[in-house]
């Protein structure tokens, strides 16, 4: 007979926690003893005292609020792309102020070092000459843009917006799983989720002292403005258009910042200056917050088949007449193979040890590491270096013999394209599932802004693997989100 794996030294948990299993993963709410952690006590008490139907009602209210506000994402693969509500979990994920302080320092350090790295790679290449990173790994990176060599960007800021994925290991440490340095998305869910939670749990907010995040749009706007040339500051948001899965977010942010939401066809380049077509004539544009990938921004400089971009944009950029945020070519710093060098990058440029660690990563270009991993594929997660969204991945412990052999062939055929990491036991947080509170695996994506200074609003997008036992949190693969509360003290 198999029973829930509960340690024998404490009494069964009370409703609505009766099915709550505390397993090997770090649990955000409970200690191994089954007692709630101090910063979760207010939520714990509230949940114990709420009648079950009240939780259901709150859940319905929250779903309805998301629906009414049109908070949706697009699911591809049908004849007509369909919009779905982004699944949202009712219970907040709570982070203490001191945990947050470490994250904040760690991410500030990381984005600073990565910016110095990009400036170096696209100019002198000192880090390569000094042999800290092999040049080959840079030049073989799919997202390396040789056109960016020698191009000066304002304030030397390449990455203005990053969305760094953190996970918490069983020992309670946060580590960086991925740096998303190209066009990270999801921040609109963070902001709308907070708005909905305030409608549903006002009393809990008052009791807990949750640090605000509503200033994000303003901070993003200031960041973009800090990159604009003196006295000229027409900022626009460039979207691929209504069929993009993040279009909701693009429209949302443009509205929040009070800037125009433009598509490539709205912009024209003349004499290396960028203009948008308005009913009042052409209006000069100074900064573009672009949510279009490098490859597509300019058909003359990059992919010629792109209809999302603006012909001539890159020349205007090189001439210093337009600011792009993020800069082009930042993808070289979030390549999953180059990721493994980030601790070295931090030491090289800042002379400091990393405050937030990396996940141990095996490079398949290294013969010894490759042989070790290929012999033990069932223990590892294998990822393609340039992919995101949970695509192109092998999760060893959940894989079949055929899948492993297929990946082994792929690795051997193109070692530069793959890395391996040990299977991580992500931490769990309480989620409201079918009338009960149950643990589900979560990660955390804070949003880092870098202009005049580094700004990280206290919070982020906590993504949840809503299927029981699943470790995949991507929205395209059954993931949802929950509000993230950073406490005042």
Partner 1 sequence: MLSRVADSLYWMSRYFERADHCARVLEANYNLMLNPSKLSAEERWHRIMASLGIAATASGIDPQMAMIKLTSDPDEESSIVSCIAESRENAGQVREQISSEMWECLNCLYHQVTQADGRLDTDSDPLRLVAAVREGAYQFQGVTAGTMNHGEGWHFIQLGKYMERSCSLPVLLDAYFSAAGKADYLDWVGLLASCAAFESYCKVYTADLKPDSMAEFLLLNPEFPYSVRYAVERMCAAIAAISETSFTKVAERIERVAGRLRASLAYVPIADIMKGGLHRYLDSVIEQCNDLHAAVHVVYIDYPIQSALEA
Residues in touch with partner 1 (CB under 8 A): 70, 242, 251, 254-255, 260-263, 265-266, 268, 270, 275-282
- With tokens 């990455």, the residue in question is 159
Tokens encoding 198: 């305030």
Q: Which is nearer to partner 1, 242 or 412 (CB)?
A: 242
State the minimum distance, in angstroms, from the CB of residue 261 to partner 1: 7
Q: Which is nearer to partner 1, 268 or 359 (CB)?
A: 268
- Measured between its terminal Cα atoms, the distance across the chain in Å is 45
- The residue among 323, 293, 325, 297 whose CA lies nearest residue 310 is 297
- 8 A C-beta contact, residue 61 and residue 75: no
Q: Which is nearer to partner 1, 49 or 68 (CB)?
A: 68
Q: Which is nearer to partner 1, 50 or 268 (CB)?
A: 268
- The residue among 128, 98, 179 whose CA lies nearest residue 489 is 98
Q: Which is nearer to partner 1, 35 or 255 (CB)?
A: 255
CA dist list (Å): 156 to 221, 226, 322, 428, 456: 18, 12, 14, 39, 19
Q: For the CA atoms of the chain, what is the radius of gyration? A: 23
State the minimum distance, in angstroms, from the CB of residue 266 to partner 1: 5
State the minimum distance, in angstroms, from the CB of residue 275 to partner 1: 8
Q: Which is nearer to partner 1, 247 or 302 (CB)?
A: 247
- 8 A C-beta contact, residue 181 and residue 333: yes
* Helix-strand-coil split of the chain, %, nearest 5: 35, 25, 40
State the minimum distance, in angstroms, from the CB of residue 77 to partner 1: 20
| Separation between Cα atoms, residue 27 and residue 38, nearest integer Å | 13
State the minimum distance, in angstroms, from the CB of residue 150 to partner 1: 30
State the minimum distance, in angstroms, from the CB of residue 277 to partner 1: 4
State the minimum distance, in angstroms, from the CB of residue 264 to partner 1: 10
Do you know the residue count of the chain?
Answer: 489
- Phi, psi for 92 (deg, rounded to 5): -70, 150
Q: Angle 429-478-486 (CA atoms, 0-180°, nearest 5)? A: 35
| Separation between Cα atoms, residue 13 and residue 27, nearest integer Å | 15
Q: Which is nearer to partner 1, 21 or 63 (CB)?
A: 63
State the minimum distance, in angstroms, from the CB of residue 270 to partner 1: 6
- 8 A C-beta contact, residue 219 and residue 232: no
């Amino acid at each position: 007979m198999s029973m829930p794996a509960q340690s024998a030294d404490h009494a069964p948990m009370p409703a609505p926690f009766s099915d709550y299993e505390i397993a090997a993963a770090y649990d955000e709410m409970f200690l191994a003893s089954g007692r709630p952690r101090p910063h979760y006590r207010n939520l714990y008490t509230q949940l114990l005292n709420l009648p079950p139907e009240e939780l259901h009602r709150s859940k319905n209210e929250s779903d309805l609020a998301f629906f009414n506000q049109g908070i949706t994402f697009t699911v591809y693969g049908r004849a007509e792309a369909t919009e779905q509500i982004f699944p949202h979990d009712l219970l907040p994920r709570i982070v203490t102020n001191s945990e947050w302080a470490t994250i904040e320092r760690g991410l500030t350090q990381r984005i600073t070092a990565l910016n110095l790295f990009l400036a170096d790679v696209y100019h002198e290449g000192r880090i390569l000459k000094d042999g800290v990173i092999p040049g080959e790994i840079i030049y073989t990176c799919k997202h390396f843009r040789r056109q960016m060599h020698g191009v000066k960007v304002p304030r030397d800021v390449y990455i203005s917006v990053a969305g760094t994925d953190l996970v918490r290991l069983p020992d309670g440490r946060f580590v960086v799983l991925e740096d998303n340095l190209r066009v990270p998305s999801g921040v609109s869910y963070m902001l709308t989720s907070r708005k909905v939670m305030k409608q549903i749990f006002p009393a809990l907010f008052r009791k807990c002292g949750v640090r605000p995040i509503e200033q994000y749009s303003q901070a993003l706007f200031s960041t973009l403005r800090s990159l604009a040339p003196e006295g000229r500051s027409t900022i626009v948001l460039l979207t691929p258009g209504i069929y993009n899965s993040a279009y909701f977010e693009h429209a949302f942010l443009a509205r929040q910042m009070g800037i125009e939401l433009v598509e490539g066809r709205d912009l024209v380049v003349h004499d290396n200056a960028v203009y948008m077509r308005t009913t009042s004539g052409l209006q000069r544009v100074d900064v573009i917050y672009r949510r279009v990938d490098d490859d597509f921004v300019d058909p003359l400089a990059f992919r010629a088949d792109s209809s999302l971009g603006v012909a001539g944009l890159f020349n205007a950029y090189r001439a210093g007449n337009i600011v792009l945020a993020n800069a082009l070519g930042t993808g070289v710093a979030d390549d999953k193979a180059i990721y493994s060098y980030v601790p070295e990058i931090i030491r090289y440029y800042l002379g400091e040890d990393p405050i937030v660690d990396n996940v141990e990563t095996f490079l398949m270009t290294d013969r010894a590491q490759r042989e070790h991993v290929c012999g033990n594929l069932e223990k590892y997660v294998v990822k393609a270096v340039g992919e995101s969204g949970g695509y192109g991945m092998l999760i060893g412990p959940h894989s079949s013999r055929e899948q492993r052999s297929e990946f082994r062939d792929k690795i051997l055929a193109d070692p530069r394209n793959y890395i391996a990491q040990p299977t991580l036991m992500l931490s769990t947080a309480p989620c409201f599932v079918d009338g009960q509170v149950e643990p589900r695996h979560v990660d955390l994506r804070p949003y880092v802004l870098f202009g005049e200074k580094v700004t990280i609003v206290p919070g982020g997008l906590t993504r949840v693997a809503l299927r029981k036992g699943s470790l995949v949190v991507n929205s395209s693969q059954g993931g949802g989100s929950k509000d993230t509360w950073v406490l005042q003290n």
